[in-house]
């Protein structure tokens, strides 16, 4: 994964919630662009969700996924 891909999805207008799936299978939901921050080097992102704060190494992000159709905003 590349930080530019993450920035593109997080900065989309209008914002659409998405999930981040890690290589080992963990998945984190991003419900608002303010809940995601990148490090100055772009090697990690900090994600805030309902379970806490997660610092993720961008190299281990396998996929950015759109939400299920039933959870997409109209």
47-66 tens-digit pLDDT? 999 999 999 999 999 999 98
Calculate mean pLDDT across residues 33-48. Answer: 96
Would you say 30 and 19 are in contact if contact means Cβ atoms under 8 Å apart? yes
- Residues facing 56 on adjacent strands: 45
Q: Does domain 3-67 have CATH number 2.30.30.100?
A: yes
Summary mean pLDDT of the chain: 90
Calculate mean pLDDT across residues 8-35. Answer: 95
Give the pLDDT of residue 66.
Answer: 85
Domain parsing of the chain, residue ranges? 3-67
Would you say 15 and 32 are in contact if contact means Cβ atoms under 8 Å apart? yes
pLDDT surpassing 70 at residue 74: no
Give the pLDDT of residue 69.
Answer: 56
pLDDT surpassing 90 at residue 16: yes
């Amino acid at each position: 994964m590349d930080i530019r891909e993450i920035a593109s999805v997080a900065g989309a207008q209008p914002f659409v919630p998405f999930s981040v799936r890690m290589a080992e299978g963990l998945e984190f939901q991003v419900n608002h662009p303010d809940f995601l921050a990148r490090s100055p080097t772009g090697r990690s992102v900090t994600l805030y969700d309902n379970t806490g704060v997660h610092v993720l190494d961008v190299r281990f992000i396998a996929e950015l996924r759109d939400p299920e159709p039933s959870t997409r905003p109209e």
